[in-house]
């Protein structure tokens, strides 16, 4: 208990002091309220947003876009990555194209996508899927190419066909790499969700943050940023839990 306290107390104290400091600086007028409202005011706005359920709509909107874009981007990337790792011809065919498209910062694709898909969900989901696609693809290829050849040869000797081999041997064996790619891409996907909502939005967390800033409703702006931060934090926790559940065998072999 005392050990735990020594671990946690310094951080908690610094954090509390920081919040108190901001509160005090705002109260005595050192910082303008129009720039940085008091933490208690932000807390009050947050409380109201939660109490009357206003938080649900925009949150669901952003999460739905992120979920769909992520699912599409990640599953396509895993399939294509496995194919590229397994068949050298597929690798040769797509590798140069991937290398050409990969370094484009995906945020820069939002304006052209707006031209083709408009400012609606299709554009946002596509940009999220694109952002998610490349890290997962690269990691899948890397992971699947590094699978122990003995595993693959054994399966082949036992007459396992390519599709089953991919699904039951190569996919699980490269799962640690795929998960690493997915973890990177969750953060990227959230960034793209926010950006696309900011640039061409009518709803969602990103839109609200920039809309509140333009309307000088500063307390609301900070409240939505806090909500977004919590979303980012929880998504990461969720992912770590999923990783622990699916990769328990990997962690176990790591330790020994």
Partner 1 sequence: MLGRRSGLLLIAVLLLSWEMSARTGLITSENWPPVSAILAGLIHETLYGDLVQVIGATLSRFALGYLIGICAGTIVGFAFALVPFLRRMFEPIIELLRPIPAPALIPPLVLFLGVDDLMKVTIIAVTAFFPVAINTMQGASGVEPVYLAVASTLQTGPARVLMKIILPNTLPYVLAGMRISLALALVVTIVSEMIAGASGVGYYLILMQYAARSADMYAALFVIAALGYALNAVFLVAEKRLIFWYAPEP
Site residues for partner 1 per CB under 8 A: 6-8, 10-15, 18, 34-36, 88-89, 91-97, 100-101, 103-112, 114-116, 146, 187, 190-191, 194-195, 198-199, 205-206, 209-210, 212-213, 218, 221-222, 225, 228-233, 235-236
Q: Taking the complex as a whole, how short is the minimal distance between the CB of residue 159 and partner 1, in angstroms? A: 27
Report yes or no: 88 and 141 within 8 Å, Cβ to Cβ.
no
Q: Tell me the torsion sign for CA atoms 192, 193, 198, 199.
A: positive
Closest C-alpha to 147, from 237, 81, 211, 192: 81
Taking the mean position of all CA atoms in its chain, how far away is CA 126?
15
Report yes or no: 70 and 185 within 8 Å, Cβ to Cβ.
yes
| Max Cα-Cα span within the chain | 78
Q: Taking the complex as a whole, how short is the minimal distance between the CB of residue 85 and partner 1, in angstroms? A: 13
Helices first, then strands: H and E counts in the chain: 13, 0
Radius of gyration of the chain (CA): 23
> Quick one: 172 or 232, whose CB is closer to partner 1?
232
Report yes or no: 199 and 110 within 8 Å, Cβ to Cβ.
yes
The 3 state secondary structure assigned to 150-170 is HHHHHHHHCCCCHHHHHHHHH
**Length of the chain as a residue count:** 256
> Quick one: 56 or 229, whose CB is closer to partner 1?
229
Q: Taking the complex as a whole, how short is the minimal distance between the CB of residue 235 and partner 1, in angstroms? A: 8
191 vs 124: CA distance, rounded Å: 11
> Quick one: 167 or 238, whose CB is closer to partner 1?
238
> Quick one: 117 or 160, whose CB is closer to partner 1?
117
> Quick one: 82 or 228, whose CB is closer to partner 1?
228
> Quick one: 60 or 104, whose CB is closer to partner 1?
104
Q: Taking the complex as a whole, how short is the minimal distance between the CB of residue 110 and partner 1, in angstroms? A: 8
Q: Taking the complex as a whole, how short is the minimal distance between the CB of residue 140 and partner 1, in angstroms? A: 17
Q: Taking the complex as a whole, how short is the minimal distance between the CB of residue 26 and partner 1, in angstroms? A: 14
């Amino acid at each position: 208990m005392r050990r735990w306290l020594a671990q946690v107390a310094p951080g908690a104290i610094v954090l509390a002091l920081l919040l108190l400091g901001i509160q005090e600086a705002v109260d005595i007028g050192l910082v303008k309220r129009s720039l940085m409202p008091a933490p208690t005011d932000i807390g009050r706005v947050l409380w109201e947003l939660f109490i009357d359920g206003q938080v649900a709509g925009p949150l669901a909107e952003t999460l739905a876009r992120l979920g769909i874009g992520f699912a599409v981007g990640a599953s396509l990337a895993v399939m294509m990555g496995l194919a590229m790792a397994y068949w050298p011809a597929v690798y040769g065919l797509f590798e140069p194209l991937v290398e050409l498209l990969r370094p484009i910062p995906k945020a820069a694709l939002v304006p052209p996508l707006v031209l083709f898909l408009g400012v609606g969900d299709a554009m946002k989901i596509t940009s999220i899927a694109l952002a998610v696609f490349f890290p997962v693809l690269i990691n899948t290829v890397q992971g699947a190419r590094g699978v122990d050849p003995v595993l693959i040869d054994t399966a082949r000797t036992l007459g396992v066909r390519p599709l089953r081999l991919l699904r039951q041997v190569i996919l699980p064996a490269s799962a640690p790499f795929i998960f690493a790619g997915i973890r990177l891409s969750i953060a990227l996907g959230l960034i793209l969700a926010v950006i696309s909502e900011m640039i061409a939005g009518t709803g969602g967390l990103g839109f609200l943050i920039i809309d509140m800033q333009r309307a000088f409703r500063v307390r609301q702006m900070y409240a939505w940023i806090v909500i977004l931060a919590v979303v980012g934090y929880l998504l990461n926790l969720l992912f770590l839990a999923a990783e622990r559940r699916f990769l328990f065998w990997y962690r176990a072999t790591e330790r020994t």
